[in-house]
């Protein structure tokens, strides 16, 4: 007797799961091995950052921003301190601006390396993972030289930078920049140029341009869908208008382009850092800011191009030392909305790959 009845299978992936990049749970509805629906369940890492901010002073909140997207912590510091500076009308010294660009772009490279590594790892590409992490160590070393910590660096202050990079930082940076083209070739050679990797990623999880615009997707995921949009070009903040760089755009709309575009972005970041190192002036790294940060009454919104998308801060101030409302616009939280839509109809192993190419960091998703 043959039974031809199929039954929907509900599979819980996470919160503790090797491919979930943190504490993330999704309930996957399956027909056989094909995904019919996904319900992401968030909040396992929710620390109430926005509520915490209301009882901290403006300076006290800087270390908290490290814990948002902890793979690119200087970038989160940057977004936050720039928002407060905009609110207070502080002009920061030239040297500090250049140092911010250098650390911001280093963070972008480190973050993209983790994305490349974990995408490979999620498809059992162990060796590609170790290559990318080996190279990321060098960026962590540069953080350590300057700020003393390797992951949550807390390197920026309202009005400038916390520390001047030591002597040995510059040769380390130079040798890292020189080695990067070879590194990228290695990643490509060991994994992404591989036929199996291409088979797993190419034409999988199509996110069209219209869908991306409608779903408020930002960052590399948006640019891999053929939209030429980068805040650094469209609405330049800091000193990005002084550098000559391109915005990589790919039109594949699939998992492969969402990963490979990060390699293109590393090349552009290298260009920016090289120009910044060439042009960096001397001088102080901190502006004269009052001891007690007391912005005027008002509200300000500021967005920057985080490695994972647009990170925005919206601060409402009532003129006291603590913000009335501090809103964080987390890029990957919004990008995550595409997962149930895009993964529908694919097999369960493709869901893992699609999720990896989103480069979600749960510290930022759950705030």
Partner 1 sequence: MENKVLSRYVDELASQVNGVVEESFGVLVLKVQATYIIEALTGAKNFPDVPCDFLHDLCGVDSGDHIEVVYQLSSLHGPQLLRVKATMDHENPVIDSATRIWEGANYLEREAYDMFGIKFKGHPNLKRIYMWDDFEGYPLRKDYVTEPIEVRNVVRTRIEGE
Residues contributing to the site for partner 1 (CB under 8 A):
42-43, 46, 48, 50-51, 86-87, 213-217, 222, 227, 229, 234-235, 298-301, 303, 310, 312, 314, 316, 324-325, 327, 329, 333-334, 336-337, 366-367
If the CB atoms of residues 212 and 270 are measured against partner 1, the closer one turns out to be 212
H helices of the chain, in order, are: 49-53, 62-66, 73-88, 94-122, 126-147, 169-187, 195-201, 209-214, 220-223, 231-234, 255-279, 331-335, 338-343, 348-358, 362-366
- In the bound state with partner 1, the residue whose beta carbon lies nearer, of 19 and 37, is 37
Q: How far is the CB of 281 from partner 1 (least distance, A)?
A: 27
- Shortest spacing between CB 337 and partner 1, in angstroms: 5
Contact in structure between 56 and 50 (CB atoms under 8 Å): no
Least distance in angstroms from the C-beta of 200 to partner 1: 27
CB burial of 113-152 (b: ≥16 within 10 Å; e: otherwise) equals bbbbbbbbbbbebeebbebbbebbebbbebbebbbeeeeb
Gap between the Cα atoms of 321 and 58, Å rounded: 7
**Residue 74 or 312 with smaller CB distance to partner 1:** 312
Pick 336 or 352: Cβ nearer partner 1: 336
Closest C-alpha among 123, 104, 81, 136 to residue 302:
81
Is 138 or 367 the residue whose CB approaches partner 1 more closely? 367
CB of 216 to partner 1, least distance (A): 3
As measured in angstroms, the least distance from the Cβ of 66 to partner 1 is 20
166 or 345: CB nearest partner 1: 345
CB nearer to partner 1: pick between 114 and 336: 336
How far apart are CB 327 and partner 1 at their closest, in Å?
4
Distance between CA atoms of residues 253 and 206, nearest Å: 5
Tokens of 143: 């953080």
Q: Please report how the helices 169-187 and 255-279 are oriented relative to each other, as an axis angle in degrees rounded to 10.
A: 160
In Å, what is the CA distance from 232 to each residue of 28, 135, 247? Answer: 37, 26, 9
Question: Which residue lies nearer to partner 1 by CB, 298 or 319?
Answer: 298
How far apart, in whole angstroms, are the C-alpha atoms of residue 349 and residue 333?
22
Tokens standing for residue 96: 């500090």
Lookup: tokens for 325: 């409302």
CA atoms within 13 A on the CB side of 346: 24
Q: How far is the CB of 300 from partner 1 (least distance, A)?
A: 5
* Least gap, CB of 326 to partner 1 (angstroms): 10
């Amino acid at each position: 007797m043959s039974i031809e009845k199929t039954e929907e299978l509900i599979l819980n992936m996470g919160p503790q799961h090797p491919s979930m990049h943190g504490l993330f749970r999704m309930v996957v509805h399956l027909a056989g091995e094909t995904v019919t629906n996904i319900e992401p369940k968030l909040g396992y890492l929710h620390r109430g950052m926005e509520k915490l901010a209301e009882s901290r002073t403006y300076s006290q909140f800087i270390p908290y921003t490290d814990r948002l997207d902890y793979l690119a912590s200087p970038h989160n510091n940057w977004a936050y301190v720039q928002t407060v500076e905009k609110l207070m009308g502080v002009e920061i010294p030239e040297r500090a601006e250049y140092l911010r660009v250098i650390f911001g772009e280093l963070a972008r490279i480190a973050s993209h390396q983790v994305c490349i590594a974990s995408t490979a790892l999620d498809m059992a590409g162990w060796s590609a993972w170790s290559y990318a992490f080996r190279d990321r160590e060098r960026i962590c070393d540069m953080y350590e030289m300057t700020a003393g910590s390797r992951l949550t660096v807390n390197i920026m202050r309202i009005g400038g930078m916390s520390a001047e990079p030591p002597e040995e930082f510059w040769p380390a940076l130079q040798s890292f920049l020189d080695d990067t083209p070879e590194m990228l070739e290695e990643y490509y050679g060991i994994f992404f140029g591989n036929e199996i990797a291409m088979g797993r990623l190419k034409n999988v999880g199509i996110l069209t341009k219209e869908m991306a615009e409608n779903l408020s997707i930002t960052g590399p995921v948006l640019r891999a869908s053929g939209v030429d949009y980068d805040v650094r070009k469209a609405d330049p903040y800091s000193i990005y208008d002084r550098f000559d760089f391109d915005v990589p755009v790919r039109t594949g709309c699939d998992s492969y382009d969402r990963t490979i575009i990060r390699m293109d972005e590393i090349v552009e970041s290298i260009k920016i850092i090289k120009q910044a190192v060439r042009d960096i002036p001397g001088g102080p790294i901190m502006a004269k800011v009052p001891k007690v940060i007391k912005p005027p009454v008002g509200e300000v919104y500021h967005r920057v191009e985080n490695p994972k998308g647009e990170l925005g801060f919206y601060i409402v101030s009532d003129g006291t030392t603590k913000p009335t409302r501090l809103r964080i616009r987390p890029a990957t939280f919004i990008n995550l909305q595409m997962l149930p839509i895009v993964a529908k109809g694919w097999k369960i192993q493709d869901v893992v790959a699609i999720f990896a190419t989103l480069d979600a960091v749960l510290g930022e998703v759950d705030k």
